[in-house]
């Protein structure tokens, strides 16, 4: 009977609680079982040959290959021989969590990189890619990451994040070459964001927050805020408030419902809050608008 994979968690690896990143240099053997994890892993084959077991597949590996292991994917490296002294398989691992991505997203300026990271978080990037380090930029980055991680100096944690960002960009460029579909077409973001606005239109009567939209869209909350500013000229909060008040104006003009009922109908549980927001946006009270519309 096939043994289920074990699970490695971030807590097992991260020595510093507020620093969600881990780097090591591993001499692969047959001791570590097939395992999944709750973090993202970049694994670079620095020396030797062997095999990479990913889910139910086995792939031969060699020096110069980089593997992207998303959250929840089962895998393990195996050397080509039990005599690892003569035929070693050495792999550099750089692992980080979705929390790391959330932290870094605040300084990522490229939409395509942000989307790429979200795909890693949601396991939408195939783990069996053995990306070749054709330009020779990956190995020096992993070596520098490992050195900085092991020999902590002043500013090391900040420097490690900058190195990780470089690694993320380089892997994205390599992956884009072998998987052009990874790149979003110019209109893809607009189409996707339009679905976010559709979701608001369908659910504005209920409690809608940025976390809900992030879950629906698989964009981070920071990314969504940027997109709201880009495509609507408003923050999410302002857009939602204006949308609700617009709907309330329609109801005030076309129905005889009480103002408290209209407030509840457009998503406000507290009528005083509704009136306050309404007056700020429209410049008059709901009652005054209704009276004016009847003249």
Q: What is the mean pLDDT of residues 106-117?
A: 81
What global pTM score does this model have?
0.60
Domain ranges of the chain: 6-182, 186-295
Average pLDDT of the chain is 84
Span 118-171, pLDDT tens digits: 777 776 766 556 788 877 889 999 999 999 999 888 999 899 999 999 999 998
Q: For the chain, give the percent of residues with pLDDT over 70.
A: 89
Sheet arrangement for strand 49-54: 6-8, 35-37, 75-79, 49-54, 57-62
Fold of 186-295: Arc Repressor Mutant, subunit A (1.10.10)
Question: What CATH number does the domain located at 6-182 have?
Answer: 2.60.120.280
116: tokens are 């790429």
Residue 1: the pLDDT is: 40
The confidence score (pLDDT) of residue 113 equals 84
What is the mean pLDDT of the segment spanning 42-71?
A: 88
Over residues 60-81, the pLDDT tens digits come to: 888 999 998 888 888 889 988 8
Over range 38-54, report the average pLDDT: 89
Q: What percent of the chain has pLDDT over 90?
A: 26
Tell me if domain 6-182 and domain 186-295 are identical in fold.
Answer: no
């Amino acid at each position: 009977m096939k043994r289920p994979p074990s699970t490695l968690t971030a807590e097992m690896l991260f020595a510093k609680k507020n620093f969600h990143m881990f780097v090591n240099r591993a001499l692969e053997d047959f001791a570590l079982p097939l395992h999944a994890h709750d973090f993202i892993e970049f694994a670079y084959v620095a020396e030797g040959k062997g095999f990479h077991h990913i889910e139910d597949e086995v792939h031969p590996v060699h020096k110069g290959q980089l593997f992207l292991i998303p959250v929840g994917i089962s895998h393990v490296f195996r050397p080509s021989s039990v005599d690892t002294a003569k035929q070693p398989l050495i792999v550099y691992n750089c692992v980080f969590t979705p929390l790391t991505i959330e932290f870094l997203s605040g300084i990522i300026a490229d939409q395509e990189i942000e989307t790429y990271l979200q795909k890693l978080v949601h396991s939408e990037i195939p783990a069996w890619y053995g990306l070749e380090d054709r330009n020779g930029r990956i190995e020096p980055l992993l070596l520098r990451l490992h050195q900085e991680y092991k020999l902590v100096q002043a500013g090391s944690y900040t420097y490690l994040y900058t190195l990780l960002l470089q690694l993320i960009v380089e892997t994205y460029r390599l992956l884009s070459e072998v998987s052009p579909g990874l790149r979003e077409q110019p209109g893809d973001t607009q189409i996707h964001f339009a679905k976010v606005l559709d979701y608001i239109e369908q659910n504005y009567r209920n409690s809608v927050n940025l976390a809900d939209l992030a879950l629906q869209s698989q964009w981070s909350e920071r990314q969504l805020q940027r997109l709201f500013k880009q495509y609507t000229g408003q923050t999410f909060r302002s857009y939602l408030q204006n949308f609700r008040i617009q709907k309330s104006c329609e109801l005030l003009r076309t129905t005889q419902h009480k103002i408290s009922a209209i407030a509840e109908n457009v998503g406000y549980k507290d009528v005083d809050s509704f009136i306050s927001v309404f007056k700020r946006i429209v410049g008059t009270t709901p009652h005054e608008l209704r009276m004016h519309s009847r003249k």
